Structure 1
Amino acid sequence: MKTSLYVFINLICVLILSACGGSSDKSVSTNVTGVQDTITSTIDTYLNANSAPNEPGLSIIIKKDDVVVYQSNRGLANKQTNTGINSDTGFRLASVSKPFTALAIMQLYEQGLISMEDKLLDYIPELSSNWQAITVEHLLTHRSGIPDFLNDIWSDKRNSGLTNQGLIQFFAKTPELEFPPGSKGDYSNTGYVLLAEIVARVSGLSFSEYMQQNIFTPIGMHNSYITDETTPLKMGDALNFADKDTYHGFKMYTYGSMAQVSSANDLSKFTLALKNHQIVNQQTLALMIEPHANLVNVGDYGYGFAIRDGFDHSGLWDSFNTLLRFYPEQEIELIYLSNGGEVTDLHMSNIQKLVRDFYKL
Structure 2
Amino acid sequence: MGESVDALMRDYQGDVPGASVLVIENGKSVVSRSYGYADLEKRIAASPRTNYRLASVSKQFTAASILLLAQDGKLGLDDPVRKWLPSLPASADAITLKHLLTHTSGLIDYEEVMAQDATENEQVHDADVLRLLETQGRTYFAPGSGYRYSNGGYALLALIVEKASGKRYAAFLHDRVFEPLGMKRTVAYEKGVSEVADRAYGYSLIDGRWQRADQSSTSAVLGDGGIYSSIDDLTKWDAAQYDDRLLDAPSRKLAATPWTKTDDPAVEYGYGWRVTGETLWHSGETIGFRNVIVRYPQRKLTVVVLTNRDDPEPYKKALQIARLFL
Question: What is the TM-score with the length of structure 2 in the denominator?
Answer: 0.91
Is residue 2:125 matched to residue 1:156? no
**Contact 2:214 / 2:288 at 8 angstroms: preserved in 1?**
no
Identify which of 206, 229, 244 aligns with 2:168: 206
Q: Quick check: 1:66 aligned with 2:27? A: yes
| d(CA) in 1 for partners of 2:261, 2:70 | 23
Structure 1 spans left out of the alignment, 5+ residues: 1-38
Q: Against the structure 1 CA distance between its residues 216 and 271, is the aligned structure 2 distance closer, same or farther, given a 3 Å change threshold?
A: same
User: Matches of residues 106-125 of structure 1 in structure 2 within 5 Å?
Assistant: 106-125=67-86
Please point out which of 352, 355, 361 is paired with 2:318: 352
Tell me if 1:270 matches 2:269. no
Q: How well do the aligned residues superpose, as a CA RMSD in angstroms? A: 1.9
- For residue 256 of structure 1, what is the aligned residue in structure 2? 223
Unaligned runs of 5+ in 2: 204-209
The 1-side partners of 2:308 and 2:140 are apart by 33
Deviations 1:85-127 (A, max 9, x none): 1111110000000000000000011111111110100001111
Q: Secondary structure of 1:213's partner?
A: helix
| CA distance, structure 1, for counterparts of residue 27 and residue 139 of structure 2 | 43
Alignment partner of 2:303: what SS?
strand
The answer to whether the 8 A contact 2:51-2:197 is kept is: no
Change (3 A) 1:300 1:42: same
Q: State the number of aligned residues.
A: 316
Cross-structure match for 1:144: 105
CA distance in 2, matches of 1:244, 1:322: 17
> Is 1:322 matched up with 2:282?
no
Q: State whether residues 288 and 305 of structure 1, in contact with CA within 8 Å, keep that contact through their aligned partners in structure 2.
A: yes
Alignment of 1:128-139 (within 5 A): 128-139=89-100
Alignment of 1:221-260 (within 5 A): 221-231=183-193, 234=196, 236-241=198-203, 244=212, 246-248=214-216, 250=217, 252-260=219-227
- Displacement, 1:232? 5.9
**Residues 220-244 of structure 1: CA deviation (Å, up to 9, x unaligned):** 1111111235446535300012864
Per-residue displacement from partner, 1:193-213 (whole Å, max 9, x unpaired)? 000000001000000000000
**Percentage of matched positions with identical amino acids:** 24
1:4-153 matches, cutoff 5 A: 39-47=1-9, 49-150=10-111, 152-153=112-113
Q: Runs in 1 of length 4+ with deviation above 6 angstroms?
A: none
**Residues of 2 paired with 1:62 and 1:262: CA distance?**
16
> How does the TM-score come out when normalised to structure 1?
0.82
Offset of residue 253 of structure 1: 1.7
| 1:352 partner amino acid | A
Structure 1 residues 229 and 132 mapped into 2: Cα distance closer, same or farther (>3 Å)?
A: farther
Q: Which has the higher contact order (CA 8 A, sep 6+)?
A: 1
Q: 1:184/1:217 Cα in 2 relative to 1: closer, same or farther (>3 Å)?
A: same
Q: What residue in structure 1 maps to residue 207 of structure 2?
A: none
Amino acid at match of 1:260: I
